[in-house]
Amino acid sequence: MHSKLDFAPKEIRSYLKVTGWSPVSGGALAELWSLPGPAEEVVLVPMKPGAPDFDKRTRILVEDLARIESRTVHAVHSAIATIYHDVTDLRASHPSLSDGSIPLEAGYELFISARRLRVASAAAAIRRQGHFRNFPTRARDQAREVRLGQTRRGSYIVPIISQARSPEDVYAPQQEHIDIQVEETLFDRRVTATMSRALGVLEEMAGAEREPTPSEIADSVGEGVSYELCQALSKVVRSDSVAALDITFNWSQVAAPPPGSSPHVEFNEAAINIVNRVSDHLKTQLYTHEHIIYGVITDLSRRPEDETGRVGIETLIKRRRRTVWIDLPDRDYHQAVRCHDLGVPVRVRGVLSSPPGGHATMEVSDFGPDPSLGTNE
């Protein structure tokens, strides 16, 4: 059992809720929760972290849950501690690595690749571009904000821990403004969702019976694939040290998995050969980059005779609130109205113009509910 408890009552209560428990009674110091079933299990949840016996009561609770769930104490502790997080497991494997270790150079490349994957995915969550050359500052910051869990056996596993959502409610119907702190928290989930989708597309291209066409590679850029993402994969998979890299996305239990995301991808040496061809193509071809914005719809305007409707979306640009104005055709406009009425966040891709002191506008190529938050409106 960990000597330090790295979670609070809100994480405990959320974990109990998603695993089927319900509160029975309680007050400021403690609550009783029950689990329906023939055994009529009841556990005590300490609610005051400053209390002298908080750690002791919490350890007893975790031990009780481990017994009830037939899991190890460590597994339950980790599940509670990461209830608001996504955990991405990078596993390097090789037939000769039966003892759960890998060569020092391969281990170094695996840790460096974890950083490269996150930064490349963060860049693609901001704008879609085949070859970045220079990453946005927000993308570089991503590597400093996510955490690495303890390495685990199973060939060699490195867990990347990133935020999925905050404990508070995220969006409300007809919300007037975004919350900057919440948006910063949700950026981590959007990066992980982008990584999952992009790696899934790469895996599909690598597993096809024919090599991907230039058109298919160009389309993959719109899904978050980039030269830098390909390089992050190819640098770690080498026949003399790592034969394969597989990546598993363990989505937070309190935030639905993003629609279309890949729960598991794998790249062996043969797949990496295709990835390298994609990488070479992206390095030499020029693609006009498109920005991605996320936010809430705050303004809607359309006259009956208009073919398009005017929509204002409050978003973060360089970590500052900004309203971006877009024009949407009939079908997309009606979807925007629904998103506004229901409090559903949106994701928009297109060419962004945001002059200092002027109105920010976007020529839209794709509009819809934000899929990274499990929204399938």
The domain that holds 22 is classified in CATH as 3.30.920
Establish if 2 belongs to a structural domain.
Answer: no
Distances (CA, A) of 167 to 2, 10, 285: 23, 7, 43
The β-bridge relationship of strands 320-329 and 360-369 is: parallel
Q: What local confidence, expressed as pLDDT, does residue 152 receive?
A: 78
In the chain the beta strands, taken as DSSP E runs, fall at 22-26, 30-35, 41-46, 85-93, 127-128, 147-148, 156-163, 244-250, 264-268, 290-301, 308-317, 320-329, 346-353, 360-369
In this model, does residue 2 exceed pLDDT 60? no
Neighbouring-strand partners of residue 149: none
* CATH number of the domain residue 297 falls in: 2.40.50.140
Tell whether 74 and 126 lie within a shared domain: no
Determine the average pLDDT of the residues in 106-110: 86
Query: Which residue among 81, 110, 142 closes a domain?
Result: 81
Q: Is residue 332 part of a domain?
A: yes
Residue 272 has pLDDT above 90, yes or no: yes
Q: Tokens 């979807």 — which residue?
A: 335
Q: Does one domain contain both 207 and 141?
A: yes
- 190 lies in a domain? yes
pLDDT value at position 377? 46
The pLDDT value given to residue 239: 59
Quote the pLDDT of residue 1.
42
The answer to whether residues 298 and 195 belong to one domain is no
Q: Check residues 341 and 106 and name the one with the higher pLDDT.
A: 341
Please give the Cα distance from 154 to 93 (Å, whole number).
8
Q: Which pLDDT score, from 0 to 100, does residue 195 have?
A: 96
Q: Within this chain, do residues 194 and 213 fall inside the same structural domain, yes or no?
A: yes
Within 10 Å of residue 141's Cβ, how many Cβ atoms? 14
Give residue 344's domain range. 290-373
Q: 39-60 burial, b for 16+ CB within 10 Å, e for fewer? A: eeeebebbbeeeeeebeebbbe
Residue 3 confidence (pLDDT) above 60: no
pLDDT at 376: 45
Whether the CB-CB separation of 296 and 313 falls below 8 Å is answered with: yes
Same domain, 201 and 213: yes
Provide the number of structural domains found in the chain. Answer: 3
Closest CA relative to residue 16, chosen from 85, 83, 86, 63: 83
Within this chain, do residues 75 and 100 fall inside the same structural domain, yes or no?
A: no
- The last residue of one of the domains, among 258, 284, 310, is 284
In a domain, 108, yes or no: yes
Residue 3 maps to a domain = no
- The answer to whether 269 and 92 are in contact (CB under 8 A) is no
Percent of the chain past pLDDT 70, that is, above it, reads 94
Q: Is the pLDDT of residue 159 over 60?
A: yes
Residues 180 and 197 in one domain: yes
Q: What pLDDT does 260 receive?
A: 84
236-245, 276-285, 350-359: which has the minimum mean pLDDT? 236-245
Q: Looking at residue 133, what is its pLDDT?
A: 85
In this structure, the answer to whether residues 105 and 122 fall within a common structural domain is: yes
With the CA atoms of 377, 194, 136 and 365 taken in that order, what torsion angle do they form, in degrees rounded to the nearest 10?
A: -50
By CB atoms closer than 10 A (0-12, 13-18, 19+), residue 310 is middle
Quick one: average pLDDT of 344-354?
94
Residue 158: φ, ψ to 5°: -115, 115
User: How far is residue 272 CA from its own chain's centroid?
Assistant: 24
Helices 137-145, 104-126: inter-axial angle, 10-degree rounding: 130
pLDDT at site 375: 52
Per-residue confidence at 154, pLDDT binned at 50, 70, 90? confident
Task: Give the model's confidence band at 182: pLDDT under 50 very low, under 70 low, under 90 confident, else very high.
Answer: confident
Question: Is residue 60 assigned to a domain?
Answer: yes
Report the C-alpha gap between 204 and 194 in whole angstroms. Answer: 15
Shared domain check, 338 and 214: no
Alpha-carbon span 201 to 245, nearest angstrom: 16
| Half-sphere exposure (Cβ direction) of 357: Cα atoms closer than 13 Å | 0
367 in the same domain as 354:
yes
Across 368-377, average pLDDT: 74
- For 125, the token pair is 């969550």
Q: 110 with 141, same domain?
A: yes
Task: Name 15's Cβ contacts closer than 8 Å, sequence gap at least 6.
Answer: 79, 80, 83, 253
- Considering the domain boundaries, does residue 4 fall inside one? no
Which whole-number Å values give the CA distances from 86 to 102, 146, 149, 377, in the listed order?
A: 25, 10, 12, 22
Percent of the chain topping pLDDT 90: 66
Is there a single domain that holds both residue 129 and residue 262?
A: yes
Domain end residue (candidates: 263, 284, 305): 284
Cβ contacts of 268 within 8 Å, gap of 6 or more: 237, 243, 244
Q: Tell me if 24 is assigned to some domain.
A: yes
Contact criterion met (CB below 8 Å) for 372 and 193: yes
For 287-334, the pLDDT digits (tens) are 778 999 999 999 999 998 899 999 999 999 988 899 999 999 999 999
Q: What is the pLDDT of residues 198-249, one digit of tens each?
A: 999 999 999 998 999 999 999 999 999 999 999 999 999 975 678 899 999 9
